[in-house]
Every structure is written in structure tokens, then in C-alpha cells.
């Protein structure tokens, strides 16, 4: 099926060598999906603000809501997404959950992202 497609397009405009060359080194379907998922998770202002706040300090849900100016429910929903992507972790202390960054990757991603934004 893939072969047919190449052959079909080839007669029109494809540079076969280039296409095959790039195809050989191409990212897998799974990897591109995982990568996109991480970036999509970072692709929302609320989550960006949450992560940025957590870069400074471990905070509970209520604090996070106050810092970024969103409802606690909205924050909780977004934290769930960040947890699912392993971007944040938390520890319980009494009734409260203290959230923090799971690792240093987010900070580096933000640095790179900001470099692009402020270019």
C-alpha cells in the first residue's frame, strides 16, 4: 500500500530518492504520537502557568489556584493531566496535596521554548 502510493505520486512530483532517504530515518508513529502528546500537554496557558509556578516552589492546589487566578476545580483538572503525563508529582500532608515538578525536563523545555518566543 505504501509502495503504491510512492509510485502513484512519483509520476507527478515526488523526488523519490529524497523521500526514501527521509523515510528510512523517519520517526515512528508511536514516537511522534508520544512527542506530540507531551507538547500538547505543555500547550495550554493554564498548564504553563501551573508548571511555571511549580518551578519556583512546591504548592498545594489552593495556592496554585490563587497564584494563577483560576478556580480550584480547573486547577485540579489540569493537574490530573500533568500527573498523567508524569510532569508533576505530589505528596499528601494532612488534607492537602503538595504538588511539585516530577523532573527537570520541563524547565529545559520552557527555556528552549522561551528562546524561540523571544527571538
Residue with cell 509502495: 3
DSSP state of 70: -
- Give yes or no for a contact between 65 and 29, defined as CB atoms under 8 angstroms apart: no
Residue with cell 530515518: 25
If one asks whether residue 91 binds a copy of itself (CB under 8 A), the answer comes out as no
Residues 29-68: x where in contact with a copy of itself by CB under 8 A, - otherwise, as a string: x-xxxxxxxxxxxxxxx-xxx--xx--xx-xx-xx-xxxx
- Helix, strand, coil percent values for the chain (each to nearest 5): 65, 10, 25
Instruction: Report the alpha-carbon distance of residue 20 to residue 103 in Å, rounded.
Output: 37
Of 38, 61, 67, 102, the one binding DNA (CB under 7 A) is 61
Of 4, 11, 93, 119, the one binding a copy of itself (CB under 8 A) is 119
Cβ-based neighbour number of residue 7 at 10 Å:
11
Q: Among residues 15 and 80, whose Cβ is nearest to a copy of itself?
A: 15
* Contacting positions for a copy of itself (CB under 8 A): 2, 5-6, 9, 12-15, 18-19, 21-23, 25-27, 29, 31-45, 47-49, 52-53, 56-57, 59-60, 62-63, 65-69, 86-87, 96, 103, 105, 108-110, 112-117, 119
Amino acid at each position: 500500500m505504501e509502495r503504491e502510493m510512492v509510485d502513484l505520486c512519483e509520476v507527478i512530483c515526488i523526488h523519490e530518492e529524497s523521500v526514501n532517504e527521509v523515510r528510512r530515518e523517519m520517526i515512528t508513529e508511536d514516537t511522534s504520537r508520544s512527542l506530540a502528546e507531551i507538547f500538547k500537554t505543555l500547550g495550554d496557558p493554564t498548564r504553563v502557568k501551573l508548571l511555571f509556578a511549580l518551578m519556583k516552589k512546591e504548592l498545594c492546589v489552593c495556592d496554585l489556584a490563587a497564584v494563577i487566578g483560576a478556580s480550584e476545580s480547573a486547577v485540579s483538572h489540569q493537574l490530573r493531566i500533568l500527573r498523567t503525563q508524569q510532569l508533576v508529582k505530589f505528596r499528601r500532608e494532612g488534607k492537602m496535596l503538595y504538588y511539585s515538578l516530577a523532573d527537570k525536563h520541563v524547565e529545559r523545555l520552557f527555556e528552549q521554548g522561551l528562546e524561540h518566543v523571544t527571538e
